Structure 1
Amino acid sequence: MTNVRKGVWRMKRELYKLLLMVLLAILPALSFAQGDPITQARIFVEQKQYEKAIDIYKKLYDQNPTNADVYTEYLNVLIQSKDLKGAEKLVGEQQKMRQHHPLSYVDMGRVYLAAGKDKKAEEQFDEAIKFINGDDLMTQQIANAFSTLGRDDYTLKTYERARDILKNPYFYSGPMSRLYAKSGQIEKAINTLLEAGPGQQGMLEDTKATLLEFLGTDKKNLQQAQKTLVKKINEQPENPYYAELLTWLYTQRDDWDGALLQIEALDERNKENGDRLLEFARYAAKEDKYEYAIKGYDAIIAKGAKLPYYSLAKSEKLGVLFAQLQANYAYKPSDVATVQKEYEAFFAEFPQYYTSESIRDYARLEARYANNPQKAVDLLTKALEQPALRKDIAGRVKLDLGDYYILTGKVWEASLLYSQVDKDFREDLLGEEARFRNAKLAYYRGDFQWAEGQLSVLKASTSELIANDALYLSVLILENITPDSNFVPIRRFAYADLLTFQNKDKEAETLLDSLLTAFPEHPLKDDILMQKAELAEKHREYARALTFLKEIHDKHAEDVLGDDAVFKIADINERYLKQNDEAKKYYELLIVNYPGSTYVQVARNRLAALQTGTPAIP
C-alpha cells in the first residue's frame, strides 16, 4: 500500500470513529426524548390530540400530585380540550391538598371563567385575595396569576390589599399607576405615582419615566398631570419634588415660558442664587431651545455680579448665542455684529477667560463669520501669552491659530504651529489632528508625496473622523499622481481647495470652472462637482448645490463620493428646503444602494424621524 493510500485509509478510519462517537452521544438523548412521557404529552398537545395527552398527564399526576409543572400542564390541557368537569375536579383536589395556597383558588376561578360562570369565578378570586398578608412573594405570585389571566381589575385589588396591610403608599405604586392608566383612570394613576415619589430617594427620574410611559404626548393627559401637580404644590409648597416635576412637565408640553416662570419662582423661594436656573438654561440649550436658555442665563445675570453664578452664566450665555448663530442658516451681518459685541464686552469684563475654551469660540466667530481672521489671530496670540493657560487648551488654540494663519496667507507659520502640537501631544488624538492638518497643508502646497506619507499612517487613527478624512485625501492623491499622470489638474484642484479654506470663494469657483473646461473627463470631476456643491450650499444657493450633487449621483454613483452626494441631497431637502418626501426618497436610496456607507445609521435615524413626523434635525 502506498503512503498516499495509507494516509487516505487512516483519514477514513478516523472519520468513521468520529461519526460513531457522535451517534453514541446523541442516541441516548433521542431515545430519552422518545421515551420521556411528558415530552410525548406535549407533542400530543401541539398536535391537538388531547385525549392521548390527558391519559399521559393523568398517569403522571397520579404518581406525584405535588409536581407543580405536571399539575399546571394537566390543567391547561383539560381546559383546552373543554373537559371543564375534569378540570374542576383536578383543582378541587389541589385545594384540599394545599388549603393555604391562594393560587389554587385563582385556578378554580379560571375554570369557572372558561365555563362562563363569571360570578363563581370572582368568588374564587376574592378567596385568593384574602390570603394576602403583606408577604411580597405571595403578593407578586397572585398579581402575576391574575395578570396572566388578563384580569387587571384583580391584579389591582391584589396590590391595593397588600398596600393597605403594609400601610405604605410607596409599595407597588409603579405597577398600580400603570394599571390605573391602562384602565383609563389617568387621574388616579397620576396621584398614585406622585404620592409615592417624595418619600423615596432617587425616585424623580423613575417617576418621569413612568409618567412618560402612560401619558405619552396626549395633551389632555398632560394637562391632567399638570393640574394634579399644581394641587400637590399648593398642599406642600415646601416640597421641591413636585415643583421639579411640574417644571419638567412644562417642557414636555413645549411650554418653556411656563417652565421658566416656575423655575424662577422656585429659585427665589428657596434662595438658590440661580442654581436651579443654571440647570434649566443648560437643559434648554441641550434641547436647542436657545431663546429660553438665554432667558435663563439672563435671569441669573440680573441677580447681580455679587452672586456666585454671575460670570459662569455670562460665559455659558456666549456659547448659546454662538450656537444660535451657527444654527441660523439665514443669519445676517447684523446678527454676527450683535454676538461680536457680547464677546467683546465679556472679555473686557473678565480677561481671565482668555484661558478658557470661550476664547476659541470668539476667535472662530471673528475668522469664520465676521471675515476678520487677523482679529482671530490677535485673540489667540493673546491667549497663548496667558501663564495660567492649560496645556490641552493651548494645544487646541495653536491648531486654531494655525488655521487662521492659513486664512491670512502665513502658510509656513501654520505648519510650524501644527508641528509644535504634533510634538507636544505625540501619543494623543490632538497630535493626530495636528499631523492631519500638516498633511493637508502639504497637499494644498502641492507636496503630495510627503502628504501621502503622513496620511497612510493616519488612516489607522483611533478617531473615526480623522481616519475617514485621511482615507479620502489619500485616495484623492493616489488616484491622481501616478507616474504617467498630468499633475496640473490635481495641483489646481488642491489650490482651489486652499482658496475655499481661505474663504476666497469666487476665486476658488473660477479655478474649478477652468478645470472642468480644460479637463472635462478627468477622474477629478466628481470631486470638482462636490466642491462646487459645497460652495453653493455655503452661499445658500441650494438649487445649484442640488444640480451638482445630482450630477455626481447620475454619472459617478460608483465613485467614492457617490454616497456623500446622495446623503447631501437628502440633507439639503430636509434641512433647508423642507421637502421631506424628497429627503425620504434619498435616505432610502442611500440605505439600499450604499449599505456600507458611514452615513447609513444617520440616514436610518432621520428617515424614521420623518416617517413618524418628528424630524431629527431642527
Structure 2
Amino acid sequence: MPQGFAQKKNEKVMIRDQANRYFQEQKYDKAAVLFKSLYDDSGADAYFEYYLRCLIESSDYKTALKTIRQKLRESKKSKYLVWQGYVYSREGDTKRAEEYYQQALDGLQPERSRIIELGNAFYTLGEMEWAAKVYQEAQKKFPSQEFHYELAQIYFRTRNYPLMLDAYLDLLKSQPKALTTVEGRLMTAFYYDIDGELKDQMQKTILARMQSDPGNVVYNKLFVWFLIQQKNYSAALSQALVLDRRTGDEASTLLNLAQLAAKGEAYSEALRAYDYLKKRKGDNPYREEAQLRQTQVAYQRFLAAQTSRKTAVDSLDQLFQMTFHQLGESRRTLFLIEDYAKFLAFYSHQPAKAIDLLERAGKIQGLNPTQKGKLKVELADCNVCAGDYWEAVLLYAQVAKEMRETNLADEAKFKRARLAYYMGDFNWVKAQMDVLKGSTAKLTANDALALSLLIENHEAPDSLNSDLQMLARADLDRFCNRPQEALLRLDSLQQKYPYSDLNEEVLSRKAKILVKLQKYQEAASAYNDLLKKYPDGKNSDEARFRLGELYEKELNLPDKAEAIYKDIVLHHPGSVYIEDARKNYRALRDRK
C-alpha cells in the first residue's frame, strides 16, 4: 500500500473518530463540520445522515431542509422525504410532517430493499407508527412479500407485545426454519420485560395459535422452548414428549431439556426424559448418552436428598452396575466411574471396592495427565476412608510432584496437609499452610486459610491438644460421611472439655451434621446455642444465615426466618450473606 494512501486513510479514521466523539458529547455544531467533510469525500449515506442529525439537533432546520431538498433532486429516494417530514416535525409542524410521510408511503415500490430502506428511515427517526405502516401497506400492495420480522421488531420497541407475538408467529407459519431466530429475539424481549407482562401474554398467544392451527408443530416447538425459559420443566417435558411421539424429531430437544432440568435440580423430570430417550424406538443416537446421564442424575438426586436409607443406596448401586455392564469402563464413562467410586467410598461405605474401581480406571488407555492426576487424588481420598493413611499420603505427594504448579497439585498438597491434621500432626500442617494460602485456586486457598487459623487459634502450648485431636477425628468422620460417629465424638468433646475454646467450632459442626441427617429442629437448637454463646464469633455469620434458611425452608416458620434476614440486613452490613439475606427477606415479605 502506497505511503500517501495509508496516511490519507489514517486521517479519515481520525476525523471519523473525532466526529463520533463530538456527537456523543452533543457538540453537534463541531460534529456537523466533520461529518459533512467525510460525506463530501466519500459520498456515503451514513455520513450524510449523521450530518443531518447534527443540523437537526442544533436546531439548524433551514440548512437541514436545504440539504435534504438538494439530496432529493440527486437521488429521488423516498427516505429523504421522511427526513424532510422529520425536520418539520421537530419544528412543530405536525401537519406538514405527515404530508411528507404520506408522500413517501404513497411512493412504495415493489423492490424489497427499497421497502426496508423506507421502513428503516422511519424506525431510525423513532417514527414507529409510520414504520409499521410501511410494512403493513407493502404486504397489502405486494402480497408475495412478507415483513413479519420487521413488524415484530417495531412492536418490540413500542412494547406492543400482542402484535409482536402475532408477527413472530406469522413469520414461523410461513418460515418454520426461522424458529431459532425467533427464539433469540424473544430471549432479548424477555430480558427487557421487567414487569413480566410478556410472559403471560406469550402463553396465551401460543396456546391460542396451537388451538386454531393444531397441524402446525412449530408452535408446539416454540411453546416447549417458552416453558423451558420459565423453568417449568415438568410442563415442558410433557409437551416435548407429545411432540416427539407425533413427529419423531425431538430427541435433541429432549436431551437438552433433560440437561437443563438436571442443572435446575428438577431431577425427576430429567430422569423421565432420559428414560424416554433410552427406550425410544427407531433411529436413536442418544440411547447410550441417555443411559450415562440418567445414572449421573440419579446420583445427583441421591446426594440432594441427603438420604442414607439402605433401599436408596442399593437401588442406586444396581443402576451404576447395570450402566457399566452395558457401556463398560472407558474414557467415555470416566466421569461416571468417578461418581461411582465416590458413592462406594462415602455412601455405600465400601472403600475397598472404590479403590479397586479407581485402580482399574487408572489403566484406561488414552488418559491425559490431568485425568490420571485427578484419579489419584480420588484414590487417595478413598484410602483415607479405608484407614490406609500412608498410601493416601504417597498418592497425594505423587500428584503434587507430577502436576507441579497446577490447581490439582495445590489441591493434593492441601489434602495431604488436611490428612496430617486428621492424624494430629499439627506442626507439619502449619509448616505447609503458608504455601497453600497463596494458591491460585481460590477454594484451596480459602480452605488452607481456614485450617491454618483453626490450628493457630486453638493449639495448646503444652502440645497435648487433646480437644483439638478429638475435633480432628470428628472432622475425619465428617469427611468420610460418617455423621453419627462424628456427632458422638463432638458430644464427647463437649462433655470432656466443657470449657474448651473449640466449643464454637463444635456447635457449628453439630448443626451442619444435624441438617445433613434432616434433624432440623435439633440443628436449629444448635445454631441458636452458638449465636447465644458466641454472637460475634467466627462462625456466627454463617450460623445466622443458615438458621434463617432452616426456619424458612425446613421448619415452615417464615416469620422467624424473616426476622433473622432482617437482622442481617440491618445490623450486619459486613456479612457475606447480606445480599442473599436481603433477597430472601423481600421474597418472604412479598408473600404476605
- The alignment's TM-score, normalised by the length of structure 2, stands at 0.74
Contact 1:181 1:189 (8 Å CA) reproduced:
no
Deviations for 1:357-384, whole angstroms, at most 9, x for unmatched residues? 1122122223333343343334334433
Question: 1:302: which partner in 2?
Answer: 279
Question: 2:120: which partner in 1?
Answer: 140
Deviations for 1:11-61, whole angstroms, at most 9, x for unmatched residues? xxxxxxxxxxxxxxxxxxxxxxxxxx999xxxxxxxxxxxxxxxxxxxxxx
Of the candidates 291, 305, 315, which is equivalent to residue 292 of structure 2?
315
Question: 1:328: which partner in 2?
Answer: 305
Question: 1:577: which partner in 2?
Answer: 555
Tell me, in whole angstroms, the C-alpha distance in 1 between the residues paired with 2:477 and 2:161.
66
Of the candidates 485, 508, 517, which is equivalent to residue 530 of structure 1?
508
| Superposed displacement of residue 230, structure 1 | 6.5
Of the candidates 327, 340, 343, which is equivalent to residue 320 of structure 2?
343
Of the candidates 372, 393, 413, which is equivalent to residue 350 of structure 2?
372
Tell me, in whole angstroms, the C-alpha distance in 2 between the residues paired with 1:299 and 1:203.
28
Whichever residue aligns with residue 105 of structure 1, its letter is G
Contact 2:380 2:392 (8 Å CA) reproduced:
yes
Of the candidates 61, 82, 105, which is equivalent to residue 102 of structure 1?
82
Tell me, in whole angstroms, the C-alpha distance in 2 between the residues paired with 1:277 and 1:468.
39
Question: 2:256: which partner in 1?
Answer: 279
| Superposed displacement of residue 607, structure 1 | 5.5
For the residue of structure 2 that corresponds to 1:357, the secondary structure is helix
Tell me, in whole angstroms, the C-alpha distance in 2 between the residues paired with 1:352 and 1:360.
11
Contact 2:511 2:524 (8 Å CA) reproduced:
yes
Where does 1:27-426 land on structure 2 (aligned, <5 Å)? 72=57, 74=59, 101-106=81-86, 108=88, 126-127=102-103, 129-130=105-106, 134=114, 139-147=119-127, 152-161=128-137, 167-169=145-147, 172-178=150-156, 182=160, 184-185=162-163, 188-192=166-170, 194=172, 198=176, 203-210=181-188, 212=190, 216=197, 218-219=199-200, 221-228=202-209, 234-235=215-216, 242=219, 244-252=221-229, 256=233, 259-260=236-237, 262-264=239-241, 267=244, 274-303=251-280, 307-329=284-306, 332-353=309-330, 356-387=334-365, 390-426=368-404
Question: 1:432: which partner in 2?
Answer: 410
Tell me, in whole angstroms, the C-alpha distance in 1 between the residues paired with 2:398 and 2:387.
19
| Superposed displacement of residue 473, structure 1 | 0.6
For the residue of structure 1 that corresponds to 2:458, the secondary structure is coil
Whichever residue aligns with residue 533 of structure 1, its letter is A
Tell me, in whole angstroms, the C-alpha distance in 2 between the residues paired with 1:92 and 1:395.
74
Question: 2:12: which partner in 1?
Answer: none
For the residue of structure 2 that corresponds to 1:479, the secondary structure is helix
Contact 1:132 1:139 (8 Å CA) reproduced:
no
Greater shift, 155-164 or 336-345, is seen at 155-164
Greater shift, 593-602 or 532-541, is seen at 593-602
Tell me, in whole angstroms, the C-alpha distance in 2 between the residues paired with 1:94 and 1:339.
78
| Superposed displacement of residue 476, structure 1 | 0.7
Distance 1:163-1:270 versus aligned 2 partners, 3 A rule: same
Whichever residue aligns with residue 222 of structure 1, its letter is Q
Distance 1:442-1:67 versus aligned 2 partners, 3 A rule: closer
Greater shift, 424-433 or 118-127, is seen at 118-127
Segments of structure 2 that go 5 or more residues without pairing to the other structure are: 1-26, 30-50, 73-79
Contact 2:258 2:271 (8 Å CA) reproduced:
yes
Contact 2:148 2:168 (8 Å CA) reproduced:
no
| Superposed displacement of residue 256, structure 1 | 4.7
Where does 1:591-602 land on structure 2 (aligned, <5 Å)? 598-600=576-578
Tell me, in whole angstroms, the C-alpha distance in 2 between the residues paired with 1:175 and 1:306.
39
Contact 1:297 1:317 (8 Å CA) reproduced:
yes
Whichever residue aligns with residue 272 of structure 2, its letter is K
Aligned-residue identity in percent: 27
Q: CA RMSD in A?
A: 4.2
Tell me, in whole angstroms, the C-alpha distance in 1 between the residues paired with 2:529 and 2:487.
17
Tell me, in whole angstroms, the C-alpha distance in 1 between the residues paired with 2:488 and 2:365.
45
| Superposed displacement of residue 517, structure 1 | 4.0
Question: 2:447: which partner in 1?
Answer: 469
The alignment status of 1:488 with 2:485, answered yes or no, reads: no
Tell me, in whole angstroms, the C-alpha distance in 1 between the residues paired with 2:373 and 2:268.
33
Whichever residue aligns with residue 417 of structure 2, its letter is A
Tell me, in whole angstroms, the C-alpha distance in 2 between the residues paired with 1:287 and 1:185.
32
Whichever of the two has the greater Rg, that structure is 1
For the residue of structure 2 that corresponds to 1:443, the secondary structure is helix
- The alignment's TM-score, normalised by the length of structure 1, stands at 0.72
Whichever residue aligns with residue 487 of structure 2, its letter is E
Contact 1:222 1:253 (8 Å CA) reproduced:
no
Tell me, in whole angstroms, the C-alpha distance in 2 between the residues paired with 1:380 and 1:574.
41
Greater shift, 465-474 or 280-289, is seen at 280-289
Deviations for 1:406-465, whole angstroms, at most 9, x for unmatched residues? 223222222222222222222221111111111111011111111122222111112221
Tell me, in whole angstroms, the C-alpha distance in 1 between the residues paired with 2:282 and 2:431.
54
Contact 1:180 1:186 (8 Å CA) reproduced:
no
Whichever residue aligns with residue 281 of structure 1, its letter is A
Contact 2:259 2:270 (8 Å CA) reproduced:
yes
The alignment status of 1:479 with 2:460, answered yes or no, reads: no
Contact 1:94 1:104 (8 Å CA) reproduced:
no
Question: 2:13: which partner in 1?
Answer: none
| Superposed displacement of residue 403, structure 1 | 2.3
For the residue of structure 1 that corresponds to 2:536, the secondary structure is coil
Deviations for 1:284-315, whole angstroms, at most 9, x for unmatched residues? 32232222222222222213699543222111
Tell me, in whole angstroms, the C-alpha distance in 2 between the residues paired with 1:529 and 1:510.
13
Contact 1:273 1:307 (8 Å CA) reproduced:
no
| Superposed displacement of residue 398, structure 1 | 2.6
Whichever residue aligns with residue 102 of structure 2, its letter is D
Tell me, in whole angstroms, the C-alpha distance in 1 between the residues paired with 2:322 and 2:518.
31
Greater shift, 164-173 or 510-519, is seen at 164-173
For the residue of structure 2 that corresponds to 1:234, the secondary structure is coil
Contact 1:109 1:125 (8 Å CA) reproduced:
no
Tell me, in whole angstroms, the C-alpha distance in 1 between the residues paired with 2:240 and 2:183.
18
Deviations for 1:545-571, whole angstroms, at most 9, x for unmatched residues? 222223333443433223222232233
Distance 1:565-1:132 versus aligned 2 partners, 3 A rule: farther
For the residue of structure 1 that corresponds to 2:215, the secondary structure is helix
Distance 1:196-1:395 versus aligned 2 partners, 3 A rule: farther
Question: 1:24: which partner in 2?
Answer: none
Contact 2:384 2:392 (8 Å CA) reproduced:
yes
